[in-house]
Copies of this chain bind each other. A is one copy, B any other.
Amino acid sequence: TQSYRITLLPGDGIGPEIMAVAVDVLKVVGQQQNLTFEFNEALIGGAAIDAVENPLPKQTLDACKQSDAVLLAAIGGYKWDTMPRHLRPETGLLGLRAGLELFANLRPAQILPQLIDASSLKPEVVEGVDIMVVRELTGGVYFGSPKGVFSTETGEQRGVNTMAYTVAEIDRIGRVAFETAQKRGGKLCSVDKANVLEVSQLWRDRITDLSSEYPDVELSHLYVDNAAMQLVRWPKQFDTIVTSNLFGDILSDIAAMLTGSIGMLPSASLGADGPGVFEPVHGSAPDIAGQDKANPLAQVLSVAMMLRYGLDQPAAADKVESAVLTLLAQGYRTGDIQSPGTTVLGCKAIGETLIQI
């Protein structure tokens, strides 16, 4: 048996509830596939702020570095929204991304036939949509310096952030994107704002140069405003999208919302080597925390992404994904994705049903 060390970061809000389901699923698929997991739970986000006044304690980052993969649930809540920046849950998440050098964020948005009615878009517009957003995750305006609030010569306050990319940063995310597109539909759309921003022009030039190494991938470019529009107008035109940190934040959320069921969407954040972090796209939903109402399926599908991209266990990943599809086909739903004729279960019951499949 292959054995893996997994760091679990349940975080805030519904995090612990959905994490519990994911761990059960992982144990069951491990038994089936002859894999064993050593779990190690650590603090992050608001929970870590409350416990040790640090959204990413050093022990947590160290534990992550020493593991084979990290499973994260969700962070944040109203309670910490007005704290100074170093005591914000988000700061812990950004620190984790930087600390593990997770420069590549993969965010799939796929319409499941059973959930097509959940979309706010017309069924004929979203039917069959299957998009992978490859978002750069450790650069751009999220991390550029100088940043802060400074006084101008006239004594006025000026808020500043720096949107920057080096050639090396663009190239490494570009390669991940081309390779991702190769394994998918063979189409890559690079999104920037090169008609206005110098950093985007460099991005476009490098991605264009790289494309000569991937002759089997069809490359196109869109400006970010147009890309956002096109996602809403006719999302089926997209296969793989590659873009910067900020644009990826926005576009991956649009792509997610096209499905109408963001409680279903996982993500993977990968570095050059070292462990990846696997987490749902949705947030910590503090309003329903502790009520056994959360949808744990994005967390479960994050387990599948962990098995596929983090541990190279595609057969186990397939098992998990097909179990989720079977569960839906059997008519089980959580409250967020219910529709007439389906059976609504709580978070725990969904988990219990899933591991029977």
Q: How far is the CA of A157 from the CA of B198 in the complex (A)?
A: 12
Asked if A332 is at the interface (CB within 8 A of a chain B CB), the reply is no
Which residues in B have their C-beta under 8 angstroms from that of A94? 196
CB of A219 to closest CB in B, whole Å? 15
CA distance A249 to B191 in the complex (A): 14
Taking the complex as formed, is A28 at the interface, i.e. its CB lies under 8 A from any CB of chain B?
no
With A and B bound together, what is the CA distance between A203 and B159 in angstroms? Answer: 8
User: Is A256 part of the binding interface, using a Cβ–Cβ cutoff of 8 Å?
Assistant: yes
Mask: chain A, 150-179; 1 = CB below 8 Å from B; 0 = not = 001000111111111111100000000000
Within 8 A of B (CB), among A228-278: 228-229, 232-234, 246, 249-250, 252-254, 256-258, 260, 262
Closest residue on chain B to residue A164 by CB atoms = B160
The stretch of A60-68, A118-126, A302-310, A347-355 that contacts the partner chain: A118-126
State the copy count for this chain. Answer: 2
- A interface residues, Cβ below 8 angstroms from B: 85, 88, 90, 94, 120-122, 125, 141-142, 144, 147-149, 152, 156-168, 193, 195-203, 224-226, 228-229, 232-234, 246, 249-250, 252-254, 256-258, 260, 262
- Given the known inter-chain contacts A141-B197, A202-B157, please indicate yes or no for A254 contacting B253, CB distance below 8 A: no
Q: Hey, which chain B residues are within 8 Å of A167, CB to CB?
A: 156-158
Assembled-state Cα–Cα distance A142/B160 (Å): 13
Of B149, B226, B249, the contact of A202 (CB 8 Å cutoff):
B149
Query: A90 vs B88: C-alpha distance in the bound complex, in angstroms?
Result: 39
Residues of B close to A226: CB separation below 8 A:
253
